[in-house]
Amino acid sequence: MNTSSPPSEATSTKKTPTRRAVLGGAFGLLLSAGGATAWALDRFVIEHVEISDVAAYEASAAASASGTTASAAATTQASSAVVGENSFTSANAALTLATTTSGSGDDTLTYFTARLDLSDATALKSAFAQNSFGENITETTSAIAQDHDAIFAINGDYYGFRDTGIVIRNGVSYRDAGAREGLAFYRDGTVEVYDETATNAAALLEKGVWHTLSFGPSLLDNGAIKDGIDSVEVDTNFGNHSIQGLQPRTAVGVVGPNQLIFVVVDGRSTGYSTGVTLPGLAQIMLDLGATTAYNIDGGGSSTMYFNGALVNKPLGKSSERGTSDILYVGR
């Protein structure tokens, strides 16, 4: 699935990430249930690491492409950063958070928004769980964010649940298996919905793509809620969970040039937040001024993090479910 061989620096640097423990006795019982169970464990539970040190892999790729490093830019951003209770400003990014609650009782809805203004589109970065790329590798959004000194983060598209989709992160290609409607972030600040099956990772990189997300669906079409989004299936493979009905959600929207909005909707929590349908999420994005909006992984994965703490309450709790990736802004 990786479009190129990892550089020697990446393959020679091995990280030993924390693995999810599986008790031997329980594992044996599951295997004894038959080949289908063993297959399901291998496909959806057992970690399959393809790149064991993503940081080294990306650093080598960046050095090969330009012969420079990002250390000077990172130092400038960190030295000029100002953090407020619900805001953050640096040389490359300005972020403002807000909370919205509507309804009452069993119809209460709570969601969180983060408006991000970028002077450099590459200040929006991505990171993988356990600094590794592959399937079924997970870590909480907060833990991944802390590992990368992020001031702000949201969960990503949970790429590791599936083996399809085009995965480009921080200008590096990791997977080239187009299957659905994707979202592409370009180095010049452009963000667009695209058909993964009509292109490939190499072509996207050539055009200046910085990140891709592979989940969906796209929520808006020419300034209106897109038809048919309440019946879309992102995955049709074994173990797919429905994305319909009232659910916790995470979405990314475009409100202007280099202006993004992130929304995390809490749900499945009576009296606190019901969650929203996909058309309901589209309406929220439309009301916030988005011209383009895209649904990413939701449910227990829907998480917003800011300045060392959770912003939302995933599934009405103060704990998180592991995910495979995040989008973040560094300090």
DSSP state of 290: -
Q: How many residues are recorded in the chain?
A: 331
pLDDT at residue 10, as a whole number: 37
3-state secondary structure of 115: strand
Nearest 5°: the CA angle 164, 170, 174 is: 30
DSSP state of 129: G
3-state secondary structure of 204: helix
What is the residue type of 248? Answer: P
Separation between Cα atoms, residue 280 and residue 262, nearest integer Å: 15
pLDDT at residue 26, as a whole number: 42
Cα separation of the two ends of the chain: 32
- Determine contact, residues 214/179, Cβ cutoff 8 Å: yes
- Residue 234: how many CA atoms within 13 Å on its side-chain side? 27
List beta partners, residue 194: 182
The tokens for 234 are 């992102």
Whose tokens are 């620096």? That residue is 9
- Determine contact, residues 192/257, Cβ cutoff 8 Å: no
Ramachandran angles phi, psi of 182, nearest 5°: -115, 175
What is the residue type of 214? Answer: S
User: Any alpha helices (H) in the chain, and if so which ranges?
Assistant: 8-12, 24-32, 35-44, 54-66, 71-79, 141-147, 201-206, 278-287
- Determine contact, residues 110/283, Cβ cutoff 8 Å: no
Residue 242 CB neighbour total at 10 angstroms:
9
Tens of pLDDT, residue by residue, the chain (331 residues): 444 433 333 333 334 344 443 334 444 444 455 677 887 777 678 889 999 999 999 999 988 876 544 443 443 444 579 999 999 999 999 999 999 999 999 999 999 999 999 999 999 999 999 999 999 999 999 999 999 999 999 999 999 999 999 999 999 999 999 999 999 999 999 999 999 999 999 999 999 999 999 999 999 998 899 999 988 877 765 444 567 899 999 999 999 999 999 999 999 999 999 999 999 999 999 999 999 999 999 999 999 999 999 999 999 998 899 999 999 999 9
The enclosing H or E element of 305 equals strand 304-306
pLDDT at residue 71, as a whole number: 41
